[in-house]
Amino acid sequence: MNDETRYGNDLQVLVVGGGIAGLTCAGLLEQRGFSPDIVEKTNRYGGLGYALGLWPAGSNILKGLGAYEAFQAHADPMHTYTLLSDSGKKLHSYDLSGLAVEYGKPHLIWRPRLIDVLGETVTDENIRMGTTVTDIDQHDDVVDVTFTDGTEGTYDLVVGADGIHSTVREQVFGDVSLTYQGMTSWAFWVDEELLDRGVIKEHWGDGRFAGLYPTDDGLACFLAVAAPEGMPDPVAERKGRIRERFEDMGGFIPDVLDEMETTDAEDIWHDDFYDLKMDEWTNDRVVLIGDAAHAPLPTAGVGASMAMESAAVLAGELTRTDSTYLEQALDHYVTRRRDRVDEVQQKSRQIGTFALFDHSLLTGIRDQIVKFYSQDRMEEYYRGFLSSEI
């Protein structure tokens, strides 16, 4: 037992995972006088990732970190969202400027740029790259941790921010199953001649989906198809498989497929659509944030924002507690986040199903619904997310 009570920023905190959630949490803690340790399993930050959307609920946290201007220097505001049919016919185009006036501009940014911005809010000496945890041993009042480099540490709290395939979650919460959502996907960069600055374009096809997302670093293309779980995707056959599934689509797809031929197949990112919904995010002195706890599908476009929100709520709760009453602070974190996270996860599943109907009759009905889904209804849909407290 440790009889010493540590207050506020004297708490010893370990953040496992130096991605969006982990760096946000660590940066906010440092701002409040904490000195958290951060471990990140990759040896160095590189170019992993494509475009991601950041809604005001996420980007406003950067204002509190003093990093909003640096973010804006690399982010593209979104002002128009255009939906196309399988054939390329425009179904509807939505103006996002009204929501931006009310709540702030939504942005698109290349993931490594956001990581760089968040990394500047954390002291370099507090981050250990190429390191993660191998053992987590909880006691009544502390957590003993063993790292992959053989070192050990003792902490008041361990924050698992190490993504959807979290090592912390596996070690502390056991075997938690991910849920396959019936989709597989690819992403790659395409020529900026196709870029329409500030405009997101998406094909909602028949069992397939395509989107173009402009960032300051280039134009990202994202493709997805309905597929059984575990369908093989050998690199040598990847381009052929994509072309087979998309070559009869209209709109921007012919240009995208031509662009794909200039890309090395191994540079085309591939992954299946899984999400994660857990009943518990805390276990004594271990807490999960971001995709380690609540991974929505990318169809909602809010995963980064939700991760940053959870990091901010947890950091705020930790500033108002001590080592004796840490459990209450973690309970407050869960209470403040649970309903909002559950709602967003449900919507991400609904959108994924709606966008990739794998049935021609249902696709036709959906397209008619989208045609008559008004600007006001779109704004009302997003206003619930943008106006909710975090």
Q: Which pLDDT tens digit goes with each residue over 140-174?
A: 899 999 999 999 999 999 999 999 999 999 999 99
pLDDT of residue 65: 95
pLDDT of residue 384: 81
Enter the tokens of residue 225. 């198809």
Higher pLDDT, 389 or 170: 170
pLDDT, tens digit (0-9, with 9 covering 90-100), for 273-305: 999 999 999 999 999 999 999 999 887 788 999
pTM score, whole prediction: 0.94
Which residue in this structure is represented by tokens 């069992």?
Answer: 207
Kindly tell me if the per-residue pLDDT of 2 is higher than 60. no
| pLDDT above 70 as % of the chain | 99
CA distance 194 to 94: 19
DSSP per residue over 139-196, as a string?
-SS-EEEEETTS-EEEESEEEE-S-TT-HHHHHHH-----EEEEEEEEEEEE-GGG--
Enter the tokens of residue 174. 């056991």
Mean pLDDT of 95-124: 95
Question: Residue 283 belongs to what domain range?
Answer: 8-78+105-178+275-354
Domain assignment present for residue 238? The answer is: no
Kindly tell me if the per-residue pLDDT of 1 is higher than 50. no
**Given pLDDT bands bounded at 50, 70 and 90, which one contains residue 387?**
confident
Domain assignment present for residue 381? The answer is: no
User: 157-160 and 13-16: which strand pairing?
Assistant: parallel
Domain assignment present for residue 160? The answer is: yes
Domain assignment present for residue 362? The answer is: no
Instruction: Tally the domains of the chain.
Output: 1
Enter the tokens of residue 148. 């992959």
Domain assignment present for residue 332? The answer is: yes
Mean pLDDT of 7-35: 94
pLDDT, tens digit (0-9, with 9 covering 90-100), for 222-237: 999 999 999 999 999 9
Domain assignment present for residue 205? The answer is: no
* Region for 200 from its dihedrals, namely left if φ exceeds 0, alpha if ψ lies in -120 to 50, beta otherwise: beta
| pLDDT above 90 as % of the chain | 81
CA 126-127-131 angle, to 5 degrees, is: 135
Q: Domain with 34 in it: what CATH number?
A: 3.50.50.60
Average pLDDT, the chain: 93
Domain assignment present for residue 253? The answer is: no
Domain assignment present for residue 240? The answer is: no
**Given pLDDT bands bounded at 50, 70 and 90, which one contains residue 3?**
low
DSSP category for residue 192: G
Residue 215: closest CA among 89, 371, 62, 54? 54
